[in-house]
Amino acid sequence: MMDNETPDEALMQRVTRGDTEAFDLLFQRHQRSVYYFILRMTGGDASLTEDIAQECFLRLWRARQTYRPTSAALRTYLFTIARRLVLDVTKQQQRRAAVMTCGETGEAVATEQPGRADPQTMLMGRELERVLLAALDALPPTLREVVLLRDMEGLRYEEIAAITGCPLGTVKSRLSSARQRLKTAAQHWLREEKE
């Protein structure tokens, strides 16, 4: 009997025996996280995201007999695959872009500024969300991925280190740097600190 309470590892054991129903459950459980991670890492390209997400889950399916549940939690495994696929696609795009243009390159900077509307009447939460999203997309991928994995997916530092292949200290310093940039970009929409 399988349901939403069945642990990932139990489902994966069934998947290793070719159980497509168990795989479907795993897919439905993790698709939103994986999809959103890829979506943000590709700068919001929905079409590309769908292609990469499909490949990500199919790689899990095809690796079902070599998957070892003790080596990493399933979500760590999935994010590792997703990240590698995004990196591969990004490299291909950069090569293509280098051939097609010799325009300026450089890191995008979030330059969101307050609009004309009175901040008092703004829907602050929604505005903050919009600004943070723009700032997030403008972060370099190495910083963006740690914010996504830590602050949006709630992964542990150790898991992020495993996914990115970075030492724990690097993960923490990147996260700190990314958060400071987001804070700077969103400062106009943050509530005043109460004294």
Partner 1 sequence: MMPRDNEETENDDALHQVITALRQMPRPAPPESLRRRVMAQVWSEGETPARHIDVLITRTEEIRGQEHVFWERRDVQEHSPPAARTAAEHRWTPVPRDAFHATQID
- Cβ burial, residue 123 (10 Å; 0-12/13-18/19+): exposed
Q: How far is the CB of 125 from partner 1 (least distance, A)?
A: 7
With binding defined as CB under 8 A, does residue 58 bind partner 1? Answer: yes
Q: Retrieve residue 60's tokens.
A: 């899990």
By C-beta, is 97 or 167 nearer to partner 1? 167
With binding defined as CB under 8 A, does residue 133 bind partner 1? Answer: yes
With binding defined as CB under 8 A, does residue 156 bind partner 1? Answer: yes
Task: Tell me how far apart the alpha carbons of residues 114 and 189 are, in angstroms, rounded to a whole number.
Answer: 8
First to last CA, the chain: 56
Q: How far is the CB of 49 from partner 1 (least distance, A)?
A: 8
Angle CA(115)–CA(118)–CA(124) in degrees, nearest 5? 80
By C-beta, is 54 or 94 nearer to partner 1? 54
Task: Tell me how far apart the alpha carbons of residues 130 and 132 are, in angstroms, rounded to a whole number.
Answer: 6
The answer to whether residues 89 and 81 touch, using CB atoms and an 8 Å cutoff, is no
> Which residues have a Cβ under 8 Å from the Cβ of 116 and sit 6 or more positions away?
none
With binding defined as CB under 8 A, does residue 20 bind partner 1? Answer: yes
The answer to whether residues 26 and 71 touch, using CB atoms and an 8 Å cutoff, is no
With binding defined as CB under 8 A, does residue 168 bind partner 1? Answer: no
Q: How far is the CB of 191 from partner 1 (least distance, A)?
A: 6
Q: According to CB under 8 A, which one of 2, 29, 43, 61 is a site residue for partner 1?
A: 61
With binding defined as CB under 8 A, does residue 57 bind partner 1? Answer: yes
Q: How far is the CB of 120 from partner 1 (least distance, A)?
A: 17
Stretch of 2-10, 102-110, 125-133, 138-146 contacting partner 1, by CB under 8 A: 125-133
Closest CA to 40 of 146, 158, 122, 121: 146
Contact residues for partner 1 (CB under 8 A)?
A: 18, 20, 23-24, 27-28, 31-33, 35-36, 39, 46, 50, 53-54, 57-58, 61-62, 65, 125, 128-129, 132-133, 136, 147, 150-152, 154-156, 176, 179-180, 182-183, 186-187, 190-191, 193
